[in-house]
Structure 1
Amino acid sequence: MKKQVVSREEWLEARTALLEHEKALTRHRDEVAAERLALPWVRVEKAYAFDGPDGKVTLSELFRGRSQLYIKHFMMAPGAQHQCVGCSLEVDHMTDLLPHLENHDVSYAVVARAPIEEIEIVRQRMGWRFLWVSSFGGDFNYDFNVSFRPQDVSAGLASYNFRPAPEWTATVQDLSGRSTFYKNEAGEIFHTYSSYGRGGEEILGIYGILDVMPKGRNETGPNHALTDWA
């Protein structure tokens, strides 16, 4: 890797110019955050239930006494032979953050379509301590657009990242994402936000480090993504 080497004064001039762009990005991020908070909500009418390590658990119970719930949609279909490295890298960020989130009225849960027995094998092997439940046999993954029935894809009824799901999702069948929910004092649950694809990069704090390193993300493998190195 060869870069231009300059004097401290020249470097400072270039760095100060970059700072203006960074500040503009920060201001724009604040604007987007405000727009995100202003999104309307959708009442969740369906009674979703999941298989947990200790038995059945409802969507309402995933809140665990708090008013806000963050769900990580983990890309793991029934019988999956390979663990999603991107999802794994993301949830690796979370274990030590959980007490801080919970103290701030946020519960965190991971949902995958694989049966709970398969999930528990992975969770225990990885040493993850967060709540991970299975939506196997239910509609949750399909309703929140992270799992895809081949017939729905071919009929144009499936979507991913708020667009018609591409044809290849009929083969992959499961992808990743995140969704957030709010529960009021009456027990009503509202879907407040979801994002997919590169929208999940905001959770990958490791990118905040890599983006300021001399080699940057250095994703130079065949996929040009974190799957080349994570």
Structure 2
Amino acid sequence: MRDDMLKTRPPVVSPQQWEEARQQLLVQEKAMTRARDALAAERRRMPWQAVEKPYVFDGPEGKASLPELFAGRRQLIVYRAFFEPGVFGWPDQACRGCSMVADQIAHLSHLNARDTTLIFISRGTQADIARLKARMGWTMPWYTVTDDFDADFGVGEWHGTNAFIRDGDAIFRSYFINSRGDEAMGSTWSYLDITALGRQEVWEESPEGFPQSAPYKWWNWHDSYTPDAPPDKTWVAVSDAGEATFRTESGES
């Protein structure tokens, strides 16, 4: 197989030719980035589905309602993992694809800083889930479905990701992805881009009144976020300088 690959490899070129080829492809990549941003803007204008049924989950500290899963935040992302009797590898392992998703998740403090909670749910018991998390080194909140929540929101089996938002005591479903849509999940950005509020940065095209702040300024080390604290002045100066340099070098205005 290795010899066959070498026979069909792309041409080997000089550094200058390689950079020219990269710049040509970069035009398409930037177009795709802009298209992705436009698609996320459309998501922020999606209608919401009211969640009117009460749902109850088993958690590490006992029963929990859907509002409690938000953990005091405005948005909730729920990944339904396939971990239950009948899954290949049960009871020692969850679905291989769901496990890859779990392995890729960025530190949740960055999502939390954008008023967003991410959780996993499945039909395995809390004892099963605790054992699996310990074995795999996962730390995300993970609850057990006890009713029709997963089926009601498009994931009666296999896997899928739902996004919800609160408005006072009311809860709404704002978006849903599954199948290959889930394979892109894992980064802070990919999760925020499927939420009703998005990344909440001023460059985004969002409906009037949506919360937005300057990009880069809200970023922090994952162990240093302080709720409602203003951006660190030193970091603001550093990020401003870095952004100005980047724009100058890339030829952007």
Give the TM-score, by structure 1 length: 0.72
Residue by residue over 1:25-69, the C-alpha shift from the partner in whole angstroms, topping out at 9 and shown as x without a partner, is 111111111111110101100101101111100110000111110
What is the RMSD of the two structures over their aligned residues, measured on CA atoms? Answer: 1.8
Counterpart position of 2:98: 87
Counterpart position of 2:179: 197
Residue by residue over 1:115-136, the C-alpha shift from the partner in whole angstroms, topping out at 9 and shown as x without a partner, is 2222222122222222100003
1:110-189 maps to which residues of 2 (within 5 A)?
110-136=120-146, 138-147=147-156, 174-185=157-168, 187-189=169-171
Counterpart position of 2:41: 34
Deviation of 1:204 after TM superposition, in Å, equals: 4.2
Give the match's secondary structure for 2:143: strand
Is 1:64 the counterpart of 2:74? The answer is no
Q: Which amino acid in the other structure matches residue 185 of structure 2?
A: I
Query: Unaligned stretches of 5+ in structure 2?
Result: 191-253
Q: Which amino acid in the other structure matches residue 178 of structure 1?
A: T
Give the match's secondary structure for 1:104: coil
* Moved >3 Å (runs of 4+): none
Deviation of 1:79 after TM superposition, in Å, equals: 5.6
Change in Cα spacing, 1:53 to 1:78, as seen in structure 2 (3 Å) is farther
Q: Distance in 1 between matches of 2:26 and 2:113?
A: 34
Q: Which amino acid in the other structure matches residue 115 of structure 1?
A: T
Counterpart position of 1:6: 13
- The structure whose Rg is larger is 2
Deviation of 1:7 after TM superposition, in Å, equals: 1.7
- 8 Å contact kept, 1:72–1:110: yes
Counterpart position of 2:217: none
Deviation of 1:9 after TM superposition, in Å, equals: 2.5
- 8 Å contact kept, 1:181–1:189: yes
Q: Which amino acid in the other structure matches residue 60 of structure 1?
A: P
Q: Which amino acid in the other structure matches residue 179 of structure 1?
A: N
- 8 Å contact kept, 1:79–1:114: no
- 8 Å contact kept, 1:78–1:115: no
Query: Unaligned stretches of 5+ in structure 1?
Result: 148-173, 209-230
Q: Distance in 1 between matches of 2:162 and 2:151?
A: 13
Count matched residues.
177
Q: Which amino acid in the other structure matches residue 191 of structure 1?
A: R
Deviation of 1:144 after TM superposition, in Å, equals: 1.4
- 8 Å contact kept, 2:78–2:121: yes
Give the match's secondary structure for 1:191: strand
**How many percent identity over aligned positions?**
41
Q: Which amino acid in the other structure matches residue 111 of structure 2?
A: L
Give the match's secondary structure for 2:162: strand
Give the match's secondary structure for 1:75: coil
- 8 Å contact kept, 1:178–1:194: yes
